[in-house]
Amino acid sequence: MTASTVHFRVGNGDMALIELEDGRTILVDVNARQPGADIPDVIAQLRKRLKRDASGRLYLDAFLLTHPDQDHCRGLREHFHLGPPETWFKTSDKIVIREMWSSPIVFRRASRDHKLCEDADAWACEARRRVKRFRALGIGSDGERIRIMGEDVDGKTDDLGPILVKIDEEFSSICSATSQFKARLIAPMPASDNEEDEILSKNNSSVILGLAIQADGYADASRYLFGGDAEVGIWEQVWDRNKERKHVLEYDVLVAPHHCSWRSLSWDSWSDYGEDAEVSEAARSALGQARSGAEVIASSKKVKDDHDDPPCIRAKREYEDIVEPQKGTFTCIADRPGSDPYEIEVTHAGHKPKRPTVSATVAASTGIGATPLPHG
């Protein structure tokens, strides 16, 4: 099958499905709001794209939760199976997560002031269950698997060996099997206890993952950069760490961090400083390694010319500046017509948006019913 990524319309939130050439699926975050007039049923859209296993269960091969915020895990308990696979039952028909990809923050949050929402709590609980199971029995079968993205403080993750992905480490397997991608863990960086309170908020604990997707025999057909909600301080650290090997930050598709927020690019508040706000050169460099024809995607509400942040009009302009010399594009998912998710196909010559097709119903299109029609 053709490798593709599907970016759901979730307002200010993240939710993207990666479908690899071998059929493996990875979900990055979920933000399933109550469907309504302007809110599509993203869970229905997701389920339609998933396969069922031999036991008739819908499944994801992997689920990456970049960080435990509501707009990245909303709907987890309602729509995803948590707990041992044998407790799944048909009547609720929830989606099985074969392998969790989780940040190490789940080990710590419960005991701190920072309250987790219920969905995040459920994620942390399930992650701890799987890690405990691993510690007792070793790597589990599908539905019991977990990978921890980054080391925790105090050597808490030192015994996780095969299920731990360390910073700057590359991996290309899902559920213990080699797949059609190569991922690189760019953040979170190992934290020390004293700086934790200062900058390691939930946003800044975000997993940042570079993902090279294979297509038609090309290993690096398209490079994606998922940045969660990481803010400017983290991006400065990322630049600092990688400026001598900036190719690891290159991307064909960047999902703009924190829903196209100015706070990922600058220490200055957009609402306070407006156009006087200064861009952090280091953060911009970390987010500026666009390849030829690169695309920046804002998974956010419509970007308006106002004081709101996120999304921020100034951030959009900055990203447009970044891709302009590469003849790239900036796409805000909310700007697209209709309620379908934004789909991108990956070919050996790079990514391309799925061509909007015109259905046969065009002949039946009508202006009747759109506005009152006076008749004399």
Name the site residues for other proteins (rule: CB under 8 A): 216, 222, 252, 291-295, 326-328, 347-353, 355-358, 360, 362-363
Question: How far does CA 212 lie from the centroid of its chain?
Answer: 14
- Length of the chain measured in residues: 376
Q: Which is nearer to other proteins, 40 or 293 (CB)?
A: 293
Tell me how far apart the alpha carbons of residues 260 and 296 are, in angstroms, rounded to a whole number.
9
CB 70 to other proteins: min, Å: 33
Q: Which is nearer to other proteins, 274 or 356 (CB)?
A: 356
Q: Which is nearer to other proteins, 252 or 309 (CB)?
A: 252
CB 354 to other proteins: min, Å: 8
Tokens of 280: 């952090």
Q: Which is nearer to other proteins, 328 or 341 (CB)?
A: 328
Tell me how far apart the alpha carbons of residues 191 and 150 are, in angstroms, rounded to a whole number.
10
Q: Which is nearer to other proteins, 115 or 355 (CB)?
A: 355
CB 129 to other proteins: min, Å: 41
CB 346 to other proteins: min, Å: 8
CB 16 to other proteins: min, Å: 17
Q: Which is nearer to other proteins, 84 or 293 (CB)?
A: 293
Q: Could you identify the residue written with the tokens 């960086």?
A: 189
Tell me how far apart the alpha carbons of residues 251 and 186 are, in angstroms, rounded to a whole number.
13
> Would you give the DSSP letter of residue 227?
-
Q: Could you identify the residue written with the tokens 């200010």?
A: 12
Which H or E run contains 238? Answer: helix 232-242
Bridge partners, 208 (sequence order): 187
CB 56 to other proteins: min, Å: 27
Angle at 64 between CA 43 and CA 55, to 5 degrees: 60
Strand 290-298 relative to strand 251-255, pairing: parallel
